[in-house]
Structure 1
C-alpha cells in the first residue's frame, strides 16, 4: 500500500475550505454545528446534551484525553496515555507494563506521580479584552501586552489551586475564549492490560487498519484522599457501535495547521519537519541499542522509545502530505482564493491585505536562527528528566520575582500547581538513560551550533559531550525531591550558589536560551499572532464560523459515523474481531500475545468485535477519547488514526480519513473473560450476565 496514496485527493476541504464538508471539523462546545449534524444524521444535539458531554469528558494534562465512566472518579483512557504512569510505578521486580495491573480494592490503587486530569467547566468569550489590550501594537509591545492580558485574565479566574484557567486562541486570533477547568492532581491507576495486547502489532501496525489492540486503561481521580464525585459521567452502551450509526468524539486534539499560511507550511515542510525527523531518528537508534543491553534497560527506555516511534511516524506522514504536488497545489489555490476575495473588497484589502506578506517575512527571519532556537530553547535537554528539573528550577525561581503579568506564561500564578507537581514528582530517575539522552543532546548541540558557538564553549569547555553528561548526571542531587524543594524555596540566591552540576549546566544554558526565545517571540511569534489575527478577522468577515478552528489541545467535539473505506481499490471493512487476532499472533514481538490472552482463547467468542473505524475527524491529543452514540453512551475508545489520516494536520478527506477505536464490547469481554475484573465491571454497570 502506498503510504499516502490518497494524498492526491486531499482533501474535499481544500477545494472549498471555508464551508462545512462531510464530517470534517473539531468543534468547540460553544460553536457546535448541531443543525448540520441534524440534517445529515437525523439527530440534533441540544445544548443540554452538549453540556453533559463536555462535563463527562476529561483532559489528561500530559497530552491525552479521557472520560468519566462512573460517579466515583473512574476515568477511561488509552493504555498508551497512562503508559508514563505505568512506567513510573514499575520496578525491576514488578513490571506493570509487561505483566499488566488490576487493583482488586480501592486501597490497591497506586498514585500516578505526574498525572493531572482536567474537566472543562466554563467557557467565556474574552475577545474584546485581548484585542483591546493589543490594538495597534506591533512586535515586542504586542507580545508583552498579550502576555500581560492573558496572565491577568487567568489569574483572576484561577482563584484556587484546584482550578486551571487558560486563554485559548481560536481562528488565529479572530476569537479568544477563557476556559476554566476543574483540576484533579491525585490520579491513581486502577487497571492496565499488558503492553503486548495494548500495543499489539507495535510500530508496524501503528496508524494502520485492520488493527487488533486493547489500548485501554482505567484510572481514578481523588479528592481529599477519597474517590472524587464525578457527575455527569458516561454510561456503557448495551448495543455497542453499529455500521452507519452516528458517532461523536469529545476530546482534546493537540494541534492542526489547517489555517496556516503557505509560508508557515513551507517552513514546516522544508525545515521543521525534516530537521526534527533527523534527530529523532538518530535518538531512536540510540535508544534501541540501549534497550538491547538487557531486559531492565528495555524496561527503562520503553516509554521514551514508544513516544519517539509514534511521533516519527506521524511526522513522516505529515511531511509526505506537504510534499505531495497535488496537495500543495490545492493549498496554494486555497490561499489565492482567500486573498482574492479579500482583494475584491476595498475595505478588507486595506485592513488585512498585507498580512500574508508580513507572515512570510517573519518565517524568513526564523530560518536565520532556527537551529539556535531548536537546540537552546525548544528541545533543550531532549527529554533528560534531570535537565528538565534543573532548567525549571532555574527559571521558576527567577520568574517568581517578577510581576505575574511579566512572567513567562508557564510560570504564572495560574500555572504554579502544574510546575510544582512536576518538580516534586517522586517518579524514578534512571541514571544510565539520563546519561544517554543528555549526552546525545550535547552532541547534537555541538554539531548543530558548531564547536565555536559561545554556548557550546561555555557548556563543554575542553570536555566531550559524554564526559559532561556523565558528570552532570552522576554528580546531581536532583534525584531527591527534598533537594528540589529546598532549591525552589531558596529562590535565585540558592540557584546561583548551587554547585550541583546539573543546575550549573541549566544555569549556563539559560541566558543564551532566554535571548533566542525573546528574539523568537518578538520578531516571529508576535508577527504571526498579529497578522494571524488579521487574517482571522478577514476570514470571519467572509465566512463567519462555518469552519472549525484549528486544534489547540482544548476540548472539542467531532461527529461522524461507523464506516469502512476504500484503499487501493479494495474495501476495508469497519470492524475487526477476536477471530482475526489469534492468527495474526506470531509469538514474537510486536505480534506476541500475553499469556492471559492465550489462556482465555477458548472463552472469548471469536465473533466478538475488537477494533473499528469511524469517519470522525481527530488528531494527536484525541488519544483516549470516548466514542459516543446519540444517547451519549460509550460504544468505543479512540486510540489511533489510519495511515490516510496522517495528513490530517493540514486537511481532511472524509472518504478515507478514519478514527481507529477499541470496541466497547471488546473492553467488556476482556475485563470479564481475560482478567476477571468483576469490581471494575460492576462499577461500569456491566454486572455478570
Structure 2
C-alpha cells in the first residue's frame, strides 16, 4: 500500500489563522496528519501501521454516510439515518421495518439493501507531480480527461471491485489518487424502531441531552459470502470518560469554510432564507398528511424527518451567521490572507483579484438563484413522477452524445432512480405536487412566463390531480420501455409527466447553464484563494471537505450554552424519565419491557469536541487503542455553524457510546448472535 504520512511542523487552523497553535478544529487527510501537534496536545503518536489500519477499518456508504467495520466478518456499524432508503425499500405495508425495526436472527435473514454499496479506502498516493506534468502545455479543461485516464489505469491494475478516484485538494494545488475496494452487496442486519432511533423527534433534534439509540448494523458480502475484514474496530466495553481523547473517522462533503464573507452574506440573505420558508411550509403539509392515518405515516414519515432536519439545519446555519465574534475572526483571517497576497507582486498578480471577482458575482447570483431553484433546484417540483420523467427526457435528448462516447455525468446520475423498486403512492404524489406547484407559482409570480407555461390558469390542486391520474410512470416496466424506446418513444408518449418534462426542459436547461456559468466563475476564483492559503500555510492547513476520509481529534467534553453548563453524558435513567406516552417522546414496547434489565447508569449518548462537518452520520469514534467508543449520529445546535467555521467553545458532536450498543443489543433486542460476534471480535 502506498501512503505517504507527512508531519506538519507548525499547525494552524485552515480558516482562522489567529486560532491557538492546536485545537480540535481540523479535518485531516490520513496521509497528512498533524502528528507532532497531536503528540504535543494529547501525548499520542500514532505510527504508520496504526494510521493505515484505521483508514481501512472505516467505510464510506453510497450517498455519503460513513460506517465502521466492527468484526472480521464484514459487520458494519452505522446509523439508521444512513440506511433509511434501504429500510424503506425492504419494507411493505405488512412489514414496516422503519417503524417496527428489524433484526436478522440468522445469516440467511440478512436482507439485501437495493442500491446500497460501500467503499473501503485501501491506499492513497500523492500524484501532484504526475498531474502537473500531464497538464503541462494543456488547457485547464484537460484536467478531467487526465484524471479519467489515471483512474482507468489504476482500476485496471487492481483486483475486481477496485475503484479509483483522483481528488484535488487546496484548490488543485495538490492531487492524490484514492484506491477503494467497492462492495455492492450490502445487507441489513439490524435497525431499531423508528421511535427510538429518532427519540425526541424534531423538538430534540440537534439538542443535548438527547437519548436516541441511533444505531444500525449492515454486513458487506463478496461473492455471496460475508467479507473477511482483516481491519476493524473492536468495540470498547468501557465508555469513554470526560477529557479522554477521541478520534473521528468520517467522509465529510461540502461545507462552506472556504467561502468568502461576500458569499456567506449571500448564503444568509438568499439560499438560507428561501430554504427556511420552503421547508417550513412543506413541513406543515407533510405533518397534516401523516396525521390522517397510520398508512400515511408509513408512507411519508421518512420524508418528514428529512424535511424537519433540513429546516432545523438551515435555521442553525442562519443563527450561526449572526455570530459577531466568529464573523470578526473570519474577517480577520480573510484580511490576513489578502495582506499575504498583496505583499508579493507575483502572488498579487495571480491571486489578488479573486475576492473582488467573487463579490461582483454575487449580484448575478441574486438574480438567478430563485428562478433556478424553482425550475431545476430543490425548491421546484417535488414529485417522484417528474423525477422519472426528467431522467427519461434528458436520457433521450443526450442519446446521441452517449453514442459518440461523450461523458454525460448528469444523465448517469439521474437515470439511477429509473429502476428503483421503491413503491410510488399516487395520492401522496398529489399532495406533494400540489404543494410545490403552489410554491412555484407564488415564488415566481402568477404572470412569470415559466409559470404560465408550466401551470397556466389551472389551480395547483387540479393540475396535480390531472397529471398524477394521467401517468403510468409508477410502473417500472413502463419506465424501462420508454428508456429502451429512446427519442421516438419519448416524443410520441402521451404520459402527462413526460409531456410536462418535455415542456419545461428548455427552461430548466437555461437555468442550469446560468448556474453552471456562475459556479464555474466563482469556483475558479475560489480555487485561487485556496491555492493562496496553501501557499501561505502548506500542509499545516487542512483542505476543504471532498467526500474523502478525514481524521479529527477531540475530547469528551460538555460546553456552556450561555445559560447553563451542559454535561457530556445522557444516561438510560434519564431516557426513561424523559419518555412519555406521546410521540416523539414515546418509547417502543421493546424498551418499556426491558426497563428493569437495563443499567440505568449506562450512558446512552455523549458529546465530544471532534470537528465533524454536519456531524457526518455514521462516523466511527475511536480511542488511541483503535477501539470503537462511539458511533456519530448528530451534533448540537452550535455544530450547525460548522459548515462555516469551527467554534471549539460550543461545537459538539453527539454519538452513541459502545457500551450502549452492547447493552441495548443484548437486553432490549436479545441480539445474541450479533453480540457474540462483537465480543468475539475483541478477542480476535
Question: Would the TM-score normalized by the shorter structure come out above 0.5?
Answer: yes
Give yes or no for contact 1:18–1:547 (8 Å, CA) kept in 2.
no
Q: Residue 560 of structure 1 aligns to a residue in which SS?
A: strand
Higher mean displacement: 81-90 or 331-340? 81-90
1:631-672 C-alpha deviation (Å, 9 max, x unpaired): 211111111111221211111122221111101111101111
Higher mean displacement: 228-237 or 573-582? 228-237
Give yes or no for contact 1:129–1:149 (8 Å, CA) kept in 2.
no
Number of the residue aligned with 1:603: 597
Output aligned runs, 1:87-126, within 5 Å: 87-126=88-127
1:335-376 C-alpha deviation (Å, 9 max, x unpaired): 112111211222211221111111112222111111122112
Q: Deviation at 1:333?
A: 2.2
Q: Deviation at 1:539?
A: 1.2
Q: Which runs of 5+ in 2 are unaligned?
A: 1-11
The match for 1:449 among 441, 444, 447 is 444
After superposition, the Cα gap between the structure-2 partners of 1:575 and 1:341, relative to the gap in structure 1 and judged at 3 Å, is same
Number of the residue aligned with 1:685: 679
Give yes or no for contact 1:20–1:546 (8 Å, CA) kept in 2.
no
Residue 583 of structure 2 corresponds to residue 589 of structure 1 = yes
Higher relative contact order (CA 8 A, sep 6+): 1
CA distance in 1 between counterparts of 2:153 and 2:103 reads 41
After superposition, the Cα gap between the structure-2 partners of 1:54 and 1:388, relative to the gap in structure 1 and judged at 3 Å, is farther
Give yes or no for contact 1:64–1:621 (8 Å, CA) kept in 2.
no
Give yes or no for contact 2:573–2:600 (8 Å, CA) kept in 1.
yes
Number of the residue aligned with 2:5: none
1:617-640 C-alpha deviation (Å, 9 max, x unpaired): 012261111111112111111111
Q: Residue 552 of structure 2 aligns to a residue in which SS?
A: strand
CA distance in 2 between counterparts of 1:126 and 1:448 reads 47
After superposition, the Cα gap between the structure-2 partners of 1:182 and 1:629, relative to the gap in structure 1 and judged at 3 Å, is same
CA distance in 2 between counterparts of 1:277 and 1:135 reads 46
Q: Residue 596 of structure 2 aligns to a residue in which SS?
A: helix
CA distance in 1 between counterparts of 2:429 and 2:571 reads 41
After superposition, the Cα gap between the structure-2 partners of 1:215 and 1:153, relative to the gap in structure 1 and judged at 3 Å, is same
Give yes or no for contact 1:254–1:621 (8 Å, CA) kept in 2.
no
Residue 371 of structure 2 corresponds to residue 360 of structure 1 = no
1:303-329 C-alpha deviation (Å, 9 max, x unpaired): 011011111111111111112333323
Give yes or no for contact 1:147–1:406 (8 Å, CA) kept in 2.
no
The match for 2:490 among 489, 495, 504 is 495
Number of the residue aligned with 1:667: 661
CA RMSD of aligned residues (A): 2.8
After superposition, the Cα gap between the structure-2 partners of 1:495 and 1:435, relative to the gap in structure 1 and judged at 3 Å, is same
Q: Deviation at 1:291?
A: 0.7
Q: Deviation at 1:400?
A: 4.7
Output aligned runs, 1:372-521, within 5 Å: 372-379=371-378, 381-402=380-401, 406-411=406-411, 416=412, 421-521=416-516
Q: Deviation at 1:116?
A: 2.4
Q: Deviation at 1:13?
A: 8.0
CA distance in 2 between counterparts of 1:128 and 1:458 reads 52
Output aligned runs, 1:260-659, within 5 Å: 260-379=259-378, 381-402=380-401, 406-411=406-411, 416=412, 421-522=416-517, 524-568=518-562, 570-620=564-614, 622-659=616-653
Give yes or no for contact 1:29–1:557 (8 Å, CA) kept in 2.
yes
Number of the residue aligned with 1:187: 186
Q: Deviation at 1:240?
A: 3.0
After superposition, the Cα gap between the structure-2 partners of 1:133 and 1:298, relative to the gap in structure 1 and judged at 3 Å, is farther
Give yes or no for contact 2:614–2:640 (8 Å, CA) kept in 1.
no
Give the TM-score, by structure 2 length.
0.91
Q: Deviation at 1:450?
A: 2.9
Give yes or no for contact 1:12–1:652 (8 Å, CA) kept in 2.
no
Q: Deviation at 1:605?
A: 1.5
CA distance in 2 between counterparts of 1:457 and 1:119 reads 49
Give yes or no for contact 1:56–1:67 (8 Å, CA) kept in 2.
yes
Q: Residue 515 of structure 2 aligns to a residue in which SS?
A: helix
Q: Residue 613 of structure 2 aligns to a residue in which SS?
A: coil
Number of the residue aligned with 1:54: 55
Number of the residue aligned with 2:6: none
Give yes or no for contact 1:154–1:166 (8 Å, CA) kept in 2.
yes
CA distance in 1 between counterparts of 2:19 and 2:575 reads 42
Higher mean displacement: 606-615 or 231-240? 231-240
CA distance in 2 between counterparts of 1:300 and 1:675 reads 25
Give yes or no for contact 2:215–2:631 (8 Å, CA) kept in 1.
yes
Give the TM-score, by structure 1 length.
0.90
Q: Which runs of 5+ in 1 are unaligned?
A: 1-10
After superposition, the Cα gap between the structure-2 partners of 1:52 and 1:506, relative to the gap in structure 1 and judged at 3 Å, is farther
CA distance in 1 between counterparts of 2:379 and 2:644 reads 27
Higher mean displacement: 198-207 or 466-475? 466-475
